[in-house]
Structure 1
Amino acid sequence: MEESILIGKDKFKISEDETARRELRVVKVHDDAIQIQEEVHGIIALVGASSSVNIKKEELKNLIKVAKEKFGWTDICE
């Protein structure tokens, strides 16, 4: 698998003593498939049966740019 590309990051306060760090990354897993990875550091994650990724507008713009420029997906629109 190729190295992931950072498309977004931020920090948010979860208590008076702790700040969590979030990074959103994308990696090409196949010619027609990508994987979005959301990493959150600084809090205990609960295990569940489903998974979701929160993506901000600027992160989506970055994702489209990476898909076009790095992965060669020229047939997608902005």
Structure 2
Amino acid sequence: MEEPVKIGHDKFYIGEGETARRELRVIKVSDEVIQVQEEVHGIIALVGASSSVNIKKEELKNLIKVAKEQFGWTDICE
């Protein structure tokens, strides 16, 4: 499997003087599948049955660019 490509990152205040760090990455799983990974550090995680990724408009643009240029998905639009 290829190395993940970072498409976004930021820091945010979560209270009591603590700041969390977030990174958003994408990796090609197969010719038809990509995986978006969100890593957050600095927050105590709760276990749940569902998972979601928060993506900003600029990160989505970066995701489309990576999918086209690095993964060869030339048939998707912006």
TM-score computed with the length of structure 1 as normaliser: 0.98
Percent sequence identity is 83
TM-score by length of 2: 0.98
- Secondary structure of the 1:35 match is strand
Where does structure 1 differ by over 4 angstroms across 4 or more consecutive aligned residues?
A: none
The aligned counterpart of 2:7 is 7
Give the 5 Å matches for 1:34-49. 34-49=34-49
In structure 2, the residue matched to 1:20 is 20
- How far did 1:37 drift? 0.2
CA deviations on 1:25-58 (whole Å, 9 max, x unpaired) are 0000000100000000001110000000010000
**Superposition RMSD on alpha carbons, in Å?**
0.6
For residues 6 and 50 of structure 2, the distance between their equivalents in structure 1, rounded to whole angstroms, comes to 23
Determine whether 1:52 maps to 2:36. Answer: no
Instruction: Tell me the residue number matched to 1:61.
Output: 61
- Residues matched between the structures, number: 78
